[in-house]
Amino acid sequence: MSDIRHFLDLDALDGGILRGILDQAYALKRAMKAGDRPPLLRGKLLAMVFEKPSTRTRVSFDVAMRQLGGEPIMLNRVDSQLGRGETVADTSLVLSRYVDAIMIRTTAHSKLIDLADNASVPVINGLTDRTHPCQLMADVMTFEEHRGPIEGRVIAWLGDGNNMATSWIHAAVRFKFTLRLGCPKRLKPPKSVLDWANAKGGDIILTDTSEDAARDADCVVTDTWVSMGDTDGEIQRKLLTPYQVNDQIMSLAKPDAVFMHCLPVYRGDEVTASVIDGPQSIVWDEVENRMHAQKGILTWCLGASVEL
């Protein structure tokens, strides 16, 4: 088996490694707030390949690389040869000769795997149709900064059983918290993911009512009703309307429950403005932590770290 440190998914890495990545992220965040930016990745290059739009992932990786003394290189599908049919495998072989790591945001998860299988440098999953693991590292970090250790806590996911939901399931197993998913029957997370979590002893509860998911939760999370690449937008919007996070849903959760959302948000759809812009929302800290979490991921992938 390859000893390259890919960051492909939370189910592929053990809990100790993931906790170590978060410890680095916390340490680098503290250092930065104290005015110290250790150049752990001086001279390193990260290729960032985007086959879908991005604001946070793109900018947080870019800034994280620069603050660690390295540099990012951007490739969009349309202005690279990927857009003209060069294969993912060949792209991976090419980039591996130039850069120290590759981050990719793509459509089919199989493309991520193809890229990693052909790479001789670490590959990072910046979102696929199946998962979004970097986001979960920032989400766990943000919850813990506000509410303490996530182990044993109850997180309620309301909405589509999409790529974010799958990564939340992976995270629940790896970080040992309870995840209640309130999803329409037609938009449940993939059975294979639920089976994996059950086999690992995960505390995952699937319900089709928002109320049952949200009751006494420590955190309520949701995501857009229509993800990038979804083709049944109108059907999904209809199915997901009863899963909106609003003041009534938040009132069922614990009084000190927090609200999270990976963003971008569509106010009035998956969440009301009163919730996302209200006192329980921690989404802007969640945004900031994307950058700190990326530093933990990048330094782990490239074998650089600060003394803890």
- Residues recognised as catalytic: 105, 132, 135, 223, 262, 290
Three-state SS across 259-286? Answer: EEECCCCCECCCECHHHHCCCCECHHHH
Among the listed residues 190, 173, 199, the one whose alpha carbon sits nearest the alpha carbon of residue 18: 173
Residue appearing with tokens 């650089």: 304
Using alpha carbons only, what angle is made at residue 54 by residues 49 and 55, rounded to the nearest 5 degrees? 125
Contact 272, 14 (CB under 8 A): no
In the complex, the smallest distance separating the C-beta of residue 224 from ligand NVA, rounded to whole angstroms, is 5
Amino acid at 95: L
| DSSP reduced 3-state for 69 | coil
Q: Is residue 292 at the binding interface for ligand CP, with CB under 6 A as the rule?
A: no
Q: Is residue 59 at the binding interface for ligand NVA, with CB under 6 A as the rule?
A: no
Site string for ligand CP, 108-127 (x = CB under 6 A): -------------------x
Binding residue for ligand NVA (CB under 6 A) from 125, 162, 236, 294?
Answer: 162
Q: Is residue 224 at the binding interface for ligand CP, with CB under 6 A as the rule?
A: no
Q: What element of type H or E holds 219?
A: strand 219-222
Residue 164 binding partner per list ligand NVA, ligand CP, none, with a CB distance cut-off of 5 to 8 Å that depends on partner kind: ligand NVA
Q: Is residue 222 at the binding interface for ligand NVA, with CB under 6 A as the rule?
A: no
Q: Is residue 136 at the binding interface for ligand CP, with CB under 6 A as the rule?
A: no
Residue 153 binding partner per list ligand CP, ligand NVA, none, with a CB distance cut-off of 5 to 8 Å that depends on partner kind: none
In the complex, the smallest distance separating the C-beta of residue 211 from ligand CP, rounded to whole angstroms, is 27
- Applying CB under 6 A, the span of 1-9, 16-24, 55-63, 149-157 interacting with ligand CP comes to 55-63
Residue appearing with tokens 């990976």: 262
In the complex, the smallest distance separating the C-beta of residue 49 from ligand CP, rounded to whole angstroms, is 13
Distance CA 179, CA 203 (A): 6
Contact 298, 68 (CB under 8 A): yes
Residues in contact with ligand CP by CB under 6 A are: 54-57, 127, 135, 262-263
Residues in contact with ligand NVA by CB under 6 A are: 127, 132, 162-164, 223-224, 227-228, 262
